[in-house]
Structure 1
Amino acid sequence: MSVLLVTSSPRGAASHSTRIATEFAHKLVAAYPAATLVVRDLVANPLPHIDTDYATGIYTPAEARTKRQAEVVGVSDAVLDELFAADTVILATGFINFNISSTLKSWVDHVARSGKTFAYGENGPKGLVTGKKVYIVLASGGIYSEGAAVQMDHAIPYLRSVLGFIGMTDVEVVRIEGVGMGPDAVTAALAKATAKVDALVASSVHTAIAA
């Protein structure tokens, strides 16, 4: 197994999404003796937001790109290489203004590339990133998985849509909810998320053995 862990919270060591996702990745790796782990920290090493050089460079033949175009497309190519090499992808983000972090959005913008991760044919668009298991670890101050606030969750619907568009449809979500509701709520949310992570790791191992 090859695991790609992508973290994006600006809260550093205080980040619940980074903590749970990192523990998740290490538990998966520990469960598979030959597993490898690649970590992309989008806060320590943020990807450039797409700009004119990127938007034109990805459609310009490599030999004709300017130096700047080559640099930004090269960054995108490196991110794509990591994605294609992974069997399992863990995306971690905080819930920021009802959506994902801007750093994770930049990652999405770099991996969603026509001709690379999706293509258009006679039957419409087709995702080219297939055969991968994806886990989304989302931390939020409130409860958005149920109740009146469900409609305000634009993070999970967006990620499911864009990941599915490029071919990644096997997606599981680990929520760390209610962390803005006091210390007891934080403890309960972390315990619930950890229990789900442990169950997902056990399920992964069981599936691998059965296969």
Structure 2
Amino acid sequence: MEKLLYITVNPKRDTKLSKGMQIGEVFLEEFKKEKPDVEVVNMHLYDMEIPEIDMDLMYARAKLSFMGYAFEQLTEAEQTQITKMHELADRFIDADYYVFVTPLWNLGSPSILKAFLDNLFIVGKTFKNAEHGPEGLLTGRKAIHIQTRGGIYSTGPMVDFEFGDRFLRTALGFLGLEVMDSVVAEGMDHFPKMAGEIMAKAKEKAIESAREMAKDK
């Protein structure tokens, strides 16, 4: 059975309080109509214990990747951290479709998303170093980003200041995923009277994108 990993990155757990998750629910509803047999797995990052690259994890990666250590030679703390990292990466690798739902905060995504992504960059598991450079190993999978922005970043003077969507798309592409065009709802804080219209357009885009993702790979 194919699997879709629905990754929400917002301390708000109630969909009614998150515009991004409201758009995400519309996406999921349409996707499940197109592919009812796909299992949807929810992953709310703020409910998870995500390993951060601390001293133990940093040394564990180095020892295993190029210093010639075996897992059994790592310290207990290093073993714990590297095991958690690989378990999280394995959960990610086990999916076929990925939907990320995030807000734009202070020019980027919430920091917990960066911590999550740090656990996915594992040589030999999610990418390899080939003669022509790094090569992603997570091919044959589709991903999409649903992002909400209070201001306008797609045009105008803030274009070069948006690093949330840009970074996520780059990271996922590096790992080999096919990254679809993002669904973005922006300007709702700057133009509150237009919030309903902005959300409606984003939901329409989400429905179209869900149909596109559901097409055979």
Global fold match (TM > 0.5): yes
Gaps of 5+ in 1: none
Instruction: Tell me, in whole angstroms, the C-alpha distance in 2 between the residues paired with 1:44 and 1:145.
Output: 31
SS in 2 for 1:49: coil
AA at the equivalent of 1:136: H
How far residue 79 of structure 1 moved from its aligned partner, in angstroms, is 1.9
Aligned to 1:11: 12
Is 1:144 aligned to residue 142 of structure 2?
Answer: no
How far residue 7 of structure 1 moved from its aligned partner, in angstroms, is 1.0
Q: Is the 8 A contact 1:2 1:36 kept in 2?
A: yes
Identity of counterpart residues, as a percentage? 27
AA at the equivalent of 1:135: I
Change in 2 beyond 3 A, CA 1:18/1:68: farther
Structural RMSD (CA): 1.9
How far residue 135 of structure 1 moved from its aligned partner, in angstroms, is 0.5
Q: Is the 8 A contact 2:142 2:213 kept in 1?
A: no
Aligned to 1:27: 30
Aligned to 2:42: 39
Change in 2 beyond 3 A, CA 1:41/1:172: same
AA at the equivalent of 1:48: P
Aligned to 2:138: 129
Change in 2 beyond 3 A, CA 1:169/1:34: closer
Aligned to 1:166: 175
How far residue 11 of structure 1 moved from its aligned partner, in angstroms, is 3.3
How far residue 23 of structure 1 moved from its aligned partner, in angstroms, is 3.5
How far residue 20 of structure 1 moved from its aligned partner, in angstroms, is 1.8
Greater relative contact order, per chain length (Cα 8 Å cut-off, separation 6+):
2
Aligned to 1:194: 203
AA at the equivalent of 2:60: G
Gaps of 5+ in 2: 65-69
Is 1:120 aligned to residue 129 of structure 2?
Answer: yes
CA deviation vs aligned residue, 1:25-65 (integer Å, no higher than 9, x gap)? 34323421211011111112241321111112234332223
Instruction: Tell me, in whole angstroms, the C-alpha distance in 2 between the residues paired with 1:195 and 1:184.
Output: 19
Correspondent of 2:93 among 58, 80, 84: 84
What's the TM-score, normalizing by structure 1? 0.89
Paired residues, number: 208
Aligned to 2:67: none
Instruction: Tell me, in whole angstroms, the C-alpha distance in 2 between the residues paired with 1:21 and 1:46.
Output: 23
CA deviation vs aligned residue, 1:125-184 (integer Å, no higher than 9, x gap)? 111111111100111101111222111111222122222211124332010111213543
Change in 2 beyond 3 A, CA 1:204/1:109: closer
Instruction: Tell me, in whole angstroms, the C-alpha distance in 2 between the residues paired with 1:27 and 1:73.
Output: 37
